[in-house]
Amino acid sequence: MRRPYPPRWRKRRVRRNSGGWNRFLRLLGIILLLSGLLLPFLPGKGPPIAQVSPTPSLALPEDLSPLRRAMVENAAALTGKVGYFWGGKSVCLGWDSRWGVPALVTAHGSDTTGALVPFGLDCSGLVTWAAVNAAGDAGALSAIGNGVRDQYSRCTPVAWEEARPGDLAFFPDLSHVGIVAGFSAEGTLEIVHCSKSLGGVVLSPDGPAIGFTLIGRPAFYQIYGEE
């Protein structure tokens, strides 16, 4: 009789569990997406405004009210430090730690909508942040306004030659706003503004050359008792 052959032991293939790894990657992607969506709305923490050095080239009148002076200096302190972000707002007292951190642009109407870009401010956002920090009160948002048209509606129109540091300057179609910083040595009106085309917060030495044509005096100063 033939001896039965010994049983053959087949080498079992070990299946790698790729499903768990894929689920992890999907979860990570969701977390990153949500962080981009929520980041602009989270409160920022940072050093007080006193630690943000004002632009040394400002030549403000000695008799300028403290609130107007703080308005201009706060805005000018961000020149070259905060970039443009479509729909970027902040009522943070002092430096906003979110600035420069990638965030998802959720506001409609921009070629950056839906993209992750470093968080910053838009033009009206700079005005709001400067006013909030000048007053030392996040509630100043309701006094200065939110958005270019809202801010214009809270101003009294004044003649170009009567502009004072701290007044607001507007494009004729109300698509852009800045803060009057004073007159240059050449007699041109200097404007601090946050510009998309110029890359962020800048001090422009000639307002009309940029496109500013309207001057508004914010009721913000009367509300906070300085005019």
Domains of the chain: 20-55+66-223 (3.90.1720.10)
Distances from the Cα of 67 to the Cα of 91, 133, 166, angstroms:
17, 10, 8
Confidence at residue 52, expressed as pLDDT on a 0 to 100 scale: 41
- For 102-127, what is each residue's pLDDT tens digit? 999 999 999 999 999 999 999 999 99
- For 35-53, what is each residue's pLDDT tens digit? 554 444 444 444 443 334 4
Alpha helix positions (H), 39-184:
66-76, 123-135, 141-144, 148-153
> Which of the 8 DSSP states describes residue 17?
-
Distances from the Cα of 226 to the Cα of 52, 134, 187, 202, angstroms:
24, 12, 27, 27
Residue linked to tokens 């430090």: 81
What gap in Å lies between CA 57 and CA 54, rounded to an integer?
A: 9
What gap in Å lies between CA 200 and CA 75, rounded to an integer?
A: 12
What gap in Å lies between CA 204 and CA 135, rounded to an integer?
A: 24
Q: Identify the band that residue 29 occupies on the pLDDT scale cut at 50, 70 and 90.
A: low
Query: What average pLDDT does this structure show over 176-196?
Result: 94
Per DSSP, which regions of 17-115 are E strands? 102-104
Do residues 119 and 86 make contact, with C-beta atoms less than 8 angstroms apart? no
Cβ count within 10 A of residue 225:
8
